[in-house]
């Protein structure tokens, strides 16, 4: 069975692991942001991945300290879509997607390396995480980069991540395996707080999502343009999208948040129980990975020029 390996990049507390936990539920329950009659089937490939999906809610806010590999089996049988796959035939309608969840601390180290001509005195250099990451970089065919959506460019961690990723791209481009990068902005529901129960309606319209992205990311346009150019210089296709692990409230459609007396935002989830449809609907969490692995493009993946209308 064909295997596609994907690298998941993001800084600490960006919600990468929580996103992986939601992949199976969001696709199989067709709660991924837009209505489709046909969707692929996804299931955990091994016991380790199943256990992480079931038990991650118990340690949801504990940062990932090691590079972990999540293995999924994807079945495209019965999905008839002209945008389906890049170079796949009917014989390939079942394949595995392996995703390496890279600890955010690694990117601080890579950022230091990029600023010091590839050399830095850091104990992390000898860490097995770095070794495993190095082995993977020669095999991955796609990369998903997670950035915190709201004011990400004001967050130094987001800029460190992009700079570190540029350093990685220049070193793995020689292998020629990486074909696609998806920059996925998280917490999209926070852009829709003012729309109440109509928020989900806007989130399900690709043109509305594109306009919202342009409005909120206009100030960071030149940073994103530079990163786009870096990827394209290495002949790597790059797209942008949004997602939300916490999504929207079932039956109501409003963003899945609440505001307390201190104006702090909290996700309205039941943290003592596993995730189910009764609690909330994740939004677009699987799509970036499916595209990075196969080239399967949905209406909610945009090129830089599509968002900022620079063509």
**pLDDT tens, position by position, 123-155:** 444 455 556 666 767 778 889 988 887 767 676
Q: CB within 8 A of 277, min separation 6: which ones?
A: 25, 29, 31, 250
Output the pLDDT for position 126.
45
Please report which confidence band the pLDDT of residue 277 belongs to, taking 50, 70 and 90 as the band edges: very low
In this structure, what token pair is assigned to residue 42?
Answer: 């996804």
Cα diameter, the chain? 56
**67/133 Cα distance (integer angstroms):** 7
Pairing of β 265-267 and β 257-259: antiparallel
- Model confidence at 87: pLDDT above 90: no
pLDDT of residue 220: 86
What are the distances in angstroms from CA 209 to CA 99, 158, 161, 283, 303?
A: 26, 21, 24, 12, 13
Task: Indicate the pTM of the whole model.
Answer: 0.84
Question: 281 pLDDT exceeds 60?
Answer: yes
Of 84 and 100, the structure prediction assigns the larger pLDDT to: 100
* Nearest-angstrom CA–CA distance, 102 and 136: 10
**Token pair listed for 23:** 């992949």
Cα-to-chain-centroid distance, residue 176: 22
Mean pLDDT of 290-309: 89
pLDDT digits (tens, 9 = 90+) for 1-30: 688 888 888 777 677 888 888 887 776 555
Q: Where are the alpha helices (DSSP H) in the chain?
A: 16-28, 47-55, 105-115, 128-137, 156-172, 199-203, 206-217, 221-233, 287-294, 304-308
How many angstroms separate the CA atoms of 116 and 230, rounded?
A: 19
Mean pLDDT of all residues in the chain? Answer: 76
Q: Which residues pair with 69 in a beta bridge?
A: 100
Tokens of 157: 């961690």
Residue 211 has pLDDT above 90, yes or no: yes
Q: Are 169 and 236 in contact (CB under 8 A)?
A: yes
Question: Domain ranges in the chain?
Answer: 3-308
38 vs 34, 42, 124, CA distance in Å? Answer: 11, 13, 45
Mean per-residue pLDDT, 249-253: 81
Residue 272's pLDDT is: 41
Give the pLDDT score at 43. Answer: 87
Please check whether residue 140 is in contact with residue 177, taking contact to mean a CB–CB distance below 8 angstroms: yes
Q: Domain 3-308's class?
A: alpha beta
What integer pLDDT is reported at residue 56 of this predicted model? 63
Predicted local distance difference test score (pLDDT) of residue 81: 57
Instruction: Note the pLDDT of residue 37.
Output: 59
Least confident of 102-111, 164-173, 271-280, 281-290: 271-280
Provide mean pLDDT across the span 189-211: 89
Is the pLDDT at 183 greater than 90? The verdict is: yes
3-state secondary structure of 204: coil
Question: Mean pLDDT: which of 110-119, 172-181, 243-252, 295-304 is highest?
Answer: 295-304
In sequence order, the 6+-apart residues with CB closer than 8 A to the CB of 65 are 103
* Model pLDDT, residue 133: 66
**pLDDT of the residue at 82:** 45
Whether 269 contacts 276, CB under 8 Å: no
Angle, in degrees to the nearest 10, between helices 156-172 and 221-233: 10
pLDDT at 68: 83
The string of pLDDT tens digits covering residues 35-74 is 565 677 888 899 989 888 877 655 554 555 567 889 999 8
- pLDDT score of 200: 87
Percent of the chain with pLDDT over 90: 12
Q: Which candidate, 36, 303, 22, 11, places its Cα nearest to that of 145?
A: 11
DSSP code of residue 63: P
d(CA 60, CA 272): 10
Predicted confidence at residue 273, as pLDDT, reads 42
Stretch 228-251: mean pLDDT: 87
């Amino acid at each position: 069975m064909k295997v596609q390996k994907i690298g998941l990049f993001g800084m600490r507390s960006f919600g990468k692991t929580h996103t992986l936990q939601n992949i199976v539920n969001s696709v199989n329950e067709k709660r991924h942001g837009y209505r489709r009659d046909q969707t692929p089937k996804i299931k955990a490939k091994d016991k380790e991945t199943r256990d992480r999906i079931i038990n991650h809610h118990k340690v949801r806010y504990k940062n990932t300290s090691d590079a972990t590999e999540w293995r999924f089996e994807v079945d495209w049988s019965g999905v008839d879509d002209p945008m389906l796959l890049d170079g796949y035939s009917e014989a390939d309608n079942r394949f595995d997607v392996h995703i390496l969840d890279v600890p955010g601390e690694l990117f601080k180290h890579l950022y230091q390396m990029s600023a010091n001509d590839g050399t830095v005195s850091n104990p992390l250099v000898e860490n097995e995480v770095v070794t495993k990451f190095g082995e993977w970089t020669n095999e991955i065919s796609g990369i998903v980069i997670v950035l915190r959506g709201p004011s990400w460019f004001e967050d130094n961690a987001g800029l460190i991540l992009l700079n570190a990723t540029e350093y990685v791209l220049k070193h793995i481009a020689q292998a020629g395996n990486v074909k696609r990068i998806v920059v996925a902005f998280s917490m999209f529901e926070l852009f829709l707080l003012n729309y109440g129960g109509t928020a989900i309606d806007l989130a399900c319209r690709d043109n509305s999502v594109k306009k919202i992205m342009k409005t909120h990311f206009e100030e960071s346009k030149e940073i994103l343009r530079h990163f786009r150019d870096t990827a394209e210089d290495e002949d790597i296709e790059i797209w942008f999208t949004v997602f939300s692990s916490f999504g929207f409230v079932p039956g109501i459609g409003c963003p899945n948040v609440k505001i307390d007396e201190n104006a702090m935002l909290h996700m309205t989830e039941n943290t003592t129980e596993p995730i189910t449809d009764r609690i909330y609907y994740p939004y677009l969490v699987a799509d970036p990975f499916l595209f990075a692995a196969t080239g399967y493009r949905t209406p909610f993946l945009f090129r830089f020029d599509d968002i900022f209308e620079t063509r």
